Amino acid sequence: MKIYAIAKVTFLQVIRQPIYGVLLLLCLGLMVLAPSLTMLTMDDDNKMLQDLCLSTILVAGVVLAAVAGSEAVSAEIEDQTILTIISKPVNRLELLVAKFLAVMAALALACTFMTVTFLMVLRHGVMWAAYLERDWPIIVFGLSAAVITLFVAAIGNYLFDWQFGPAALGIGLPLLSAAAVTAGFFDKSWKIQSFGQGYSIEVVSACFLLLLAIWVLAAVCIACSTRLPVVRTLLIAVVILCLGMVWDYLVLAHVQNAPSDLARAGWSALYALVPNFQIFWMLDALDLEKHISLTYILFAAGYAATYILAMLFLAYALFLDRQVGAAAKF
């Protein structure tokens, strides 16, 4: 119950941050504009659209993970508001778990928004020729959901003092999801079709795997934020992500070609030290139209859970003797 109460408050704090709403709005806007940005490429336009949207989700997730993870712990240490929590019968491990669960929920909310938008944009496709027909159900239902969300959130903010950001998120996600589902029953000419044509389950799987990667980065950021401020945490998150993307290339060959068992054990330990984000990056699979199996998703989820647990225990070890009083400094 204590973990739930802390997680609920932290979740609301995260989604109320201006950067959360602004960054999410920018990413959604970029995805909506992506068909126009990719229509003049020399290669497969829809694959470029797919690449751009997936990369947008990754970049937004990394920034949100770093900011939310840092603000959840380091900002409270800096402001000394964390004293009101740990002075009560709440141990530090419970606090870190609650903070991480809140950050997980906030990141899942943002990724769900972007995934639904990604599916709708990908179904519309790139208008690379004048004779191609626009997907009017996607345009009408998607635009209606956006307008209704902004209007109701603005009215609620003006009349009932609702927080605009959380209100827009709470109204927008169900409306956007309903718009995507409703549009799925119509083709581009408003003719009834069997549901789901134009949508790709592989895109949903790829976005879920990307969310797992973002959760791993969030756990790294939680661990770093027990000792470091926001900017340094963001820098470390970017470095870990870049290393994780090329870790196979840098280390795996040494593991496979080690001259002795001792050397192989050393390289294997080094290889396990950094999370391999290529496991979660399904861009090549989408481009090659490969199936992402449930077995692979479960394997990736187990891999992510292992790193998340390791990072949370590291965060606890770093936070255990962390001074959080007036003399605390980074």
pLDDT of residue 204: 95
Q: For residue range 131-164, list pLDDT tens digits in order.
A: 567 889 999 999 999 999 999 999 999 999 999 9
Backbone angles phi, psi at 275, to 5 degrees: -65, 135
Instruction: Give the mean pLDDT of 49-66.
Output: 91
- Predicted TM-score of the model (pTM): 0.92
Instruction: Give the mean pLDDT of 230-249.
Output: 88
- Type of residue numbered 305: A
**Alpha carbon 237 to chain centroid, angstroms:** 13
What interhelical angle do 201-225 and 92-124 show, nearest 10? 150
User: 208 and 90 in contact (C-beta within 8 Å)?
Assistant: no
Q: For residue range 94-129, list pLDDT tens digits in order.
A: 889 999 999 999 999 999 999 999 999 999 888 765
pLDDT over threshold 70, residue 43: no
The two structure tokens encoding residue 239: 């470095």
Instruction: Give the mean pLDDT of 184-193.
Output: 90
**Alpha carbon 317 to chain centroid, angstroms:** 26
Instruction: Give the mean pLDDT of 313-319.
Output: 90
Taking all residues of the chain, what is their mean pLDDT, rounded to a whole number?
87
Instruction: Give the mean pLDDT of 191-219.
Output: 92
As separate numbers, helices (DSSP H) first and strands (DSSP E) second, the chain gives 13, 0
Banded model confidence at residue 216, pLDDT cuts 50, 70, 90: very high
pLDDT of residue 176: 96
Give the angle 258-259-264 at the CA atoms, nearest 5°: 40
Most confident of 5-9, 178-182, 185-189: 178-182
| Domain boundaries, given as residue ranges, for the chain | 2-135+188-320
pLDDT of residue 327: 45
198 against 107, higher pLDDT: 107
